[in-house]
Structure 1
Amino acid sequence: MKELIRKYHDEIISLNDFMADNPEIGGEEQEASRRMVELLRRHGIPVEYPFAGMETAFRGIINKGKARKAAILVEYDALRGLGHACGHCASGSISILAALVLNEVRDQIPAEIHVIGTPDEEMHGGKVPMVKSGVFDGMDFAVMIHMSNKNALFSRFLALDAYKFTFHGKPAHASSIPWEGRNALNSIRLFFDAMDMMRQHLKDDVRLHGYVVKGGDASNIVPHHTEAEVLVRAEKREYLDQVSKWVMDCAQAAALATRTSWSVEEIGEKYDSLRRNISGEKILEEIYTELGLNLVDTSSETGGSSDIGNVSSVCPAFHPYLDLGKDLNAHTEEFALAMKTNRTHKAISLGGEIISRFVMDVYNTPGAREEILKEYGGDGDE
């Protein structure tokens, strides 16, 4: 397998470095998706592109016609303002590398391997409409690897709701006739204060955060149109629904107090938390250990959110991490700048080997696939 990793090394590193230099935000990943698709097709993997109603999504299938099936997830969107500070150029390259390697040994795999390009993970969640349309139905599992400052097998992803709140007031000259105006900036300030007052009475896993997108037009005009982006997270979807309802009450109360009006829209899909699967993690642990990678237990740490949580609602899903160095934290400029370094290039090769070996081990170790599905609650029988 290492020989196959080396075979595709230069092409994969070129892909990663191009994406690092040319970041594209969610839904706009034209060049990244095109280059990934061209690479897969060049090496004999048929690809549907566009896919699932999304212009930058794709699906390649290895071993088409096999009864079983599994998915390798490919991410490639960048962060607004920070480029590939989440490392999707590297994690996406890992998945493509694994697909090329597995295509070489496809005769040893008794399953279809779906290589699924999933756009816009950072904001709108491209995997969610795929889940809703049945793309992952019947999968034995889905897997990808994310970059981090530690090696870990599981992330305690939180369920997520994302909203844009708009407050509508009435403009007036802020000095001569302020009483004629209705201040939408006051509305948004009260709204954030009200959410802050919620925190004392929320469970520890809840996260509330956001920012003012628009606070007004001029200092001498009573602000009549303001906007805020707010993310609401919690470990359990049922509790998150209650918290989000409370946030709506805060917005309504702020508008009532300032005699303005308000509206809200969802700015992304609702993310679910990630279901854990210990049976699959044991296989990953053996691979990490054999590769000399020291693991950190992150199961009790609160993480971010990802649309892979929704994938785990219909099939076992795995989202392990690869260490790029303890001095690097995701969603920072330093993380983005590290994407073309030797340690990231080395991690890409390691990641491609981990996913390839995981797929092979699940299907070629007696009982492994069945144990994963049994723990998940599905049917592991033939």
Structure 2
Amino acid sequence: MATATASRCVEDAVNRCRGDLVELSHSIHAEPELAFAEHRSCEKTQALVADRGFEITNSLGGLATAFRAEYGSGPLVIGICAEYDALPGIGHACGHNIIAASAVGTALALAEVADELALTVVLLGTPAEESGGGKVLLLNAGAFDDIVATVMLHPGPVDIAAARSLALSQVAVDYRGRESHAAVAPYLGVNAVDAITVSQVAIGLLRQQLAPGQMMHGIVTDGGQATNVIPGRAQMQYTMRANDAASLRELEKRMSDCFLAGAVATGCDYSVSETEPAYHELTPDSWLADTFRDEMVRIGRSPVPADIEAAMPLGSTDMGNVTQVMPGIHPIVGIDAGGASVHQSAFTEAAAGPSADTAVVEGAIMLARTVVRLAQTPEQRDRVLELKARRAA
């Protein structure tokens, strides 16, 4: 099948199921579910591909809300990631309903040409991107072992073909002191909240000396229960980010000293524990990203110029871990959110608006056509297959 013919075929396939894809996006949006509890969203995301004849494996990698839906038997095994978890309090303010629906559309379209292009199409339901590192857990469980390249997209305020993200780690810090009456015998207490105060002052002073791309942000999760009791326990959580894993490790060491400072200054005991798997930086495959950029332009979008993309890291994602293992892309497809960005309540509303519906359909078309071009460009097809063989060796 000629490239132009296959590309038209997948585009037509997406357009034929446009109504179903938009309905899926709206349905997931209407019932937001948090990390590892996306049971309804997981079932909804499977439904259309199950009807098309995809073979479904549930509880992938031991995760109750992960799945694999497979079609075809070709050697070029393409993964398409669907995310569907929401955020506490503000629902789908990251637009994961759009991600899931566009991934389903991509999978359905590629199923139409799987035999002709010698593809195996794998739709992966990947839970807990916002918190919990679902893709990291699935990678560790071997769920990506047979996949040659992985694609997905994410909504945002602008179009970015070669989107990048920051490496991330998150810790909980637990200070343990001694309770006492705050008025009768404060000198008998060891104030755990003071330890947090000292630590946060140290962190605030550290900010001036951060390397480019390094940042941290945190919250106090336990600051005592009564004003007249010296708190004997206090807890906080901090997220650390950096341009890459090496820079993140340097930041983690410096933050560790700040946590220690709180304990030393107050006499508290303390412990630091990771709360989720670390996210590596997103490193898009240059050929796939350039091809997706071409598709953005073809369809009438205006992606951020390539020379600016690298300076626009957008948060962090566990898709970064996937791109450290195999070729992959995670482009941003713009929607009209009235100036709002992701993780704002206005973006939640926009994620079920007309431009979001367009992003579902156009995103699926662009991803599917990108995979078609990969399958029908011999040197690139050979490249990703060779990379897969090296991984397996």
| TM-score of the aligned structures, taking structure 2 as reference length | 0.92
Letter in 1 for 2:108: L
Unaligned runs of at least 5 residues, structure 2: 1-9
For each residue in 1:61-102, what CA deviation from the matched residue of structure 2 results, as whole angstroms up to 9, or x when unmatched? 1113x2221210111110122110000011111001111122
Once the two structures are superposed, the pairs formed by residues 1-382 of structure 1 within 5 Å of their partners are 1-64=10-73, 66-297=74-305, 298-325=309-336, 327-370=339-382
2: CA distance, partners of 1:373 / 1:47: 24
Percent of aligned positions with the same letter in both sequences?
Answer: 28
Contact between 2:76 and 2:375, CA under 8 Å: does it hold in 1? no
How far does residue 302 in structure 1 lie from its aligned partner after superposition? 3.0
What is the identity, as a one-letter code, of the residue corresponding to 2:152?
Answer: M
- What amino acid is the match of 1:229? Q
Q: Residue 3 of structure 1: CA displacement?
A: 3.2
SS in 1 for 2:143: coil
Please give the root-mean-square deviation of Cα atoms over the aligned residues, in Å: 1.8
Alpha-carbon separation, structure 2, partners of 1:198 and 1:340:
40
Per the TM alignment, residue 214 of structure 1 is displaced from its structure 2 partner at its CA by: 1.4
C-alpha distance in 2 between matches for 1:176 and 1:373: 73
Match of 2:340, SS state, is coil
Deviations 1:232-283 (A, max 9, x none): 1111212211211221221122111111111122111011112232212221
Provide, for residues 279-318 of structure 1, a one-character-per-residue CA deviation record: whole Å limited to 9, x for no partner: 1222112211111111103221232111111101210110
Which residue identity does 1:305 align to in structure 2?
Answer: S
* Cα distance in 1 for residues equivalent to 2:34 and 2:80: 21
Residues 70 and 111 in structure 1, CA contact (< 8 A), matched pair in contact too? yes
For residues 11 and 50 of structure 1, the distance between their equivalents in structure 2, rounded to whole angstroms, comes to 25
- What amino acid does structure 2 have at the position aligned with 1:158? L
Equivalent pair of 2:177/2:190 in contact (CA under 8 Å): yes
Runs of 4+ in 1 over 4 A off after TM superposition: 371-374, 376-380
Q: Which residue of 1 aligns with 2:7?
A: none
User: Aligned partners of 2:385 and 2:310: how far apart in 1?
Assistant: 21
Deviations 1:183-204 (A, max 9, x none): 1111111111111121222201
Question: Amino acid of the residue matched to residue 98 of structure 1?
Answer: T
Relative to structure 1, the CA distance from residue 99 to residue 371 in structure 2 (aligned partners, 3 Å threshold; closer, same or farther) is same
- C-alpha distance in structure 1 between counterparts of 2:252 and 2:315, whole Å: 17
Q: 1-side partners of 2:115 and 2:178: how far apart?
A: 68
2: CA distance between counterparts of 1:158 and 1:308? 11
Rounded to whole Å, the distance in 2 between the matches of 1:190 and 1:205 is: 25
The one-letter amino acid paired with 2:16 is K
Structure 1 CA distance, aligned partners of 2:200 and 2:117?
Answer: 53
Offset at 1:378?
A: 7.4
| Contact kept? 2:214, 2:247, Cα under 8 Å | no
Q: Distance in 2 between matches of 1:302 and 1:90?
A: 20
Aligned residue identity for 2:310: S
